[in-house]
Chains A and B, each alone.
Chain A
Amino acid sequence: SQQGEEDPQALSIQEGENATMNCSYKTSINNLQWYRQNSGRGLVHLILIRSNEREKHSGRLRVTLDTSKKSSSLLITASRAADTASYFCATSGSARQLTFGSGTQLTVLP
């Protein structure tokens, strides 16, 4: 079963705008990761935030984590058409496996 639920399920924005996706989860975690999946491809790891961190940046990506609310957000700034993809959050507990959310389909219009 999926632990994470992403919101919104689909998001359409203009190139240059910021895109924000949210993820909620149910159980305690060691870390939370975000992955991108382009159509017809495998998932690609984007960024990881540990449970004792609140915010992390990587290039145009900003991730926040609120363990009290069991939620995370992914912000993509200055979006580009190439950012069009599905974005998944994944949580990791004490074991090695990841539990993936249902994903947000992002469309960036040129």
Chain B
Amino acid sequence: DAGVIQSPRHEVTEMGQEVTLRCKPISGHDYLFWYRQTMMRGLELLIYFNNNVPIDDSGMPEDRFSAKMPNASFSTLKIQPSEPRDSAVYFCASSTRQGDYEQYFGPGTRLTVT
């Protein structure tokens, strides 16, 4: 299995631009999580989906952030408009309903907003 796939790995954009991060979870996993990691705030859960349905989006910082999961193999996290304080590493993770909630992380997207 290829594991969780994220793209792009690095994104540099200017303030005000729209940014779209993409994630492909492990096949057969029915939970998908989006996290943001910064030095100041550590690893924060932004939103998670179960069977493509958003379950908890209380971690989404502002209306500028939105996430979708149109099917079981693809999710996007969009920031519009982006701001310098959005600079962080964004991780996607997936897990299966079986087991004890272990999560499998992608390599992350390092976002820099100038």
Contact = CB atoms under 8 A, between A and B. Distances in A.
A and B: bona fide binding partners: yes
Contact of A50 (B50, B95, B100): B100
Contacts of B4: 42
Interface string A83-110: 0000010001001111111110000000
A69 interface: no
Contacts of B33: 97
A25 to B, nearest CB: 14
Contact of A96 (B43, B95, B106, B107): B95
Interface string B49-72: 010000110000000000000000
A31 B100 contact: yes
A44 interface: yes
A95 B56 contact: yes
Contact of A44 (B45, B55, B100, B105): B105
A92 to B, nearest CB: 5
A30 B99 CA distance: 12
Contact of B42 (A48, A92, A102): A102
Chain A contact surface mostly: strand
Contacts of A42: 4, 91, 93, 105-108
A90 B43 CA distance: 10
Nearest to A44: B105
Nearest to A100: B43
A78 B32 CA distance: 35
A99 B45 contact: yes
Contacts of B104: 45
Interface of A: 2, 30-31, 33, 35, 41-45, 48, 50, 88, 92, 95-103
8 contacts: A31-B100, A35-B105, A42-B93, A42-B108, A43-B103, A92-B101, A98-B45, A103-B43
